[in-house]
Amino acid sequence: MVARYTTAQRINHWITALCLILLALSGMSLFHPGLFFLTALFGGGPATRAIHPWFGTVLLLSFGILFVRFFHHNLWRREDTAWVGRIGDVISNHEENLPEIGRYNAGQKLVFWLMSLLILVLFVSGVVIWDQYFFNLTTIPAKRVAVLAHSLAAVAIIGVWIIHVYAAIWVRGTMHGMMRGSVTPGWTFRHHRKWLRELARGR
């Protein structure tokens, strides 16, 4: 087996994931009246309103560590542009037509950077509308902009999250990497051949 994630990295990822799910559920409940019933999961409306920003704070810290761990693996490389150019082959499972890629492909890198950007936007706009503690820091017109930016970024990040989760289900063997830390050599050969060659050389 090929080691892909350490135990610490996996725990870090799953804390972030749990926070994102809790944030999506509590946030959506306050976004659309049709989903207000979701506040019951958090102990009612006032409790949901109170706890949502704390989930966000934990997520920011957790993702911040994740970012430091992984950003250097997610720098853009020449083969990533070629990979994006062959997105049709990616979607239709014709991986034989794709360039050899390293530890992460361009899709994974885009998810990483979009998550980073959107979390930053969500946190900053979230603080602006965290009225319980920070009401006096900003003006009401600023809060109106922030509340719209917060909801737009939230919808975008949930969309990115759906793509992230589906890709993990679609590409078989991926989930094992994040659950148990390892992937098979065949999986690595098929999806991240350049990384496999690097591993073989470095051994």
Closest CB 120 distance from another protein, rounded Å: 20
Nearer Cβ to another protein, position 69 or 197? 197
Does residue 73 carry a catalytic annotation?
no
Cα–Cα distance between 59 and 164 in angstroms, integer?
17
- 3-class SS of residue 170: helix
CB closer to another protein, 71 vs 135:
135
Among 51, 60, 120, 145, binds another protein (CB under 8 A): 145
DSSP code of 98?
A: S
C-alpha pair distances (Å), 51 with each of 81, 82, 131: 41, 44, 13
Q: How far apart are CA 10 and CA 24, in angstroms?
A: 21
Nearer of residues 113 and 189 to another protein, judged by Cβ: 189
Is position 46 an interface residue for another protein (rule: CB under 8 A)? yes
Tokens in use for 123? Answer: 């946190």
Positions 146 through 175 that interact with another protein (CB under 8 A): 147-148, 151-152, 155, 158-159, 162-163, 166, 169-173
Task: Report how far residue 167's alpha carbon sits from residue 174's, in angstroms, rounded to the nearest whole number.
Answer: 9
Does 102 participate in binding another protein (rule CB under 8 A)? no
Among 76, 124, 137, 185, binds another protein (CB under 8 A): 185
The residue (of 69 and 86) whose beta carbon lies closer to another protein is: 86
**One-letter identity of residue 70:** F
Say which residue the tokens 């109106």 belong to: 144
Determine the length of the chain: 203
Q: Which stretch binds another protein (CB under 8 A): 58-66, 74-82, 89-97, 106-114?
A: 89-97
Whether 185 contacts 92, CB under 8 Å = no
Ranges of beta strands (E only) in 34-115 are: none
Please say which residue, 124 or 148, places its beta carbon nearer to another protein.
Answer: 148
Query: Dihedrals φ, ψ of 75, to 5°?
Result: -70, 145
Catalytic positions: 164
Interface with another protein (CB under 8 A): 30-34, 36, 39, 44-46, 48-50, 91-93, 95, 129, 131-132, 135, 140-141, 143-145, 147-148, 151-152, 155, 158-159, 162-163, 166, 169-173, 184-190, 193, 196-197, 199-201, 203
